[in-house]
Amino acid sequence: MENEEVEEEEKKRFWSSTRYLPFSSISIVEWHNVPDFDDNVPPDVDSDGEDQRERREFDIEEALSQFRDESPIRHNIYPDTDDDEEQQRSKRRHNMRRGDGHLYLHKVFISGIAFKEAVLDYALRTGLNIRQRRYDKTAINFTCEGKGCSWRVYSSVSSKTKKWQITIFQSNHTCVPTGTCEMLKVPQIARLFIDKIRAEPEYFMPMKIEEMIMEKLKISVTRAQCQHGRNKALRWIEREYEEQFT
């Protein structure tokens, strides 16, 4: 029992040291109910098949970019009132920060994951059903699943710059949004909501996640997808904690 209390105190100190909201009480039982990653997956590959090192490098770049975009702290401004804090909390809850979702020929990316994220942003912005057709270490191809639609985008590693670049882009769609997005799977849902779940795990339950995706993105996902996405996000958060204290 004493060891559990020490572990709980360590978790609280960990969360309070991050840039997110203060630690919200999560029972040990809830953490133990979160499924483990597949033991058969290689150590450098995540459970959704991505290279962990490449994904981590991308996440670091994204975090630095968001940090640069944050407003500077102004010490001569009085603290927010309770009403202001509530407005900020509501804004954080409902804001889904992503890229601009614009693609164009010859656009350059730092990695294949950065290209995939840009296409996901495009799919979420337009509401069109984009599907990945090819993925290897040097080339990725996406097409639109709309009936008879010829939209496609292809990116590969440039032999000159060694960076990823869009080399084929058929930008016109001959279809309309249907509320379906095959790209929005469990790992993507987990990444969309991981910071929100980290800050308010009891608020962002599967039903709330499902409602928010429909409200903000006009995309239909199942409650089960949201449950699995939430579990995956919790597992990632737990792994962050384990890495921090081991």
Label each residue of 21-40 as H, E or C.
CCCCCCCHHHHHCCCCCCCC
- Last residue of a domain, which of 170, 194, 223? 170
User: How many structural domains does the chain have?
Assistant: 2
pLDDT along the chain (246 residues), means of 10: 57 45 36 45 48 65 56 52 67 75 94 93 95 88 94 94 94 94 94 93 96 94 97 92 78
Note whether residue 77 is domain-resident.
no
Is the pTM above the cut of 0.85? no
pLDDT of residue 82: 62
Q: DSSP 3-state assignment of 171?
A: coil
Note whether residue 49 is domain-resident.
yes
Q: Which two tokens stand for residue 113?
A: 């994951």
Residue 203 sits in the same domain as residue 226: yes
Note whether residue 140 is domain-resident.
yes
φ, ψ of residue 213 to 5 degrees: the values are -65, -40
End-to-end CA, the chain: 21
- Last residue of a domain, which of 170, 195, 210? 170
Q: How far is CA 185 from the centre of its chain?
A: 11
For 94, counting Cβ atoms within 10 Å of its Cβ (0-12 exposed, 13-18 middle, 19+ buried), the class is exposed
Domain that holds residue 136: 108-170
Note whether residue 86 is domain-resident.
no
pLDDT of residue 213: 96
- How many whole angstroms separate alpha carbon 50 and alpha carbon 38? 13
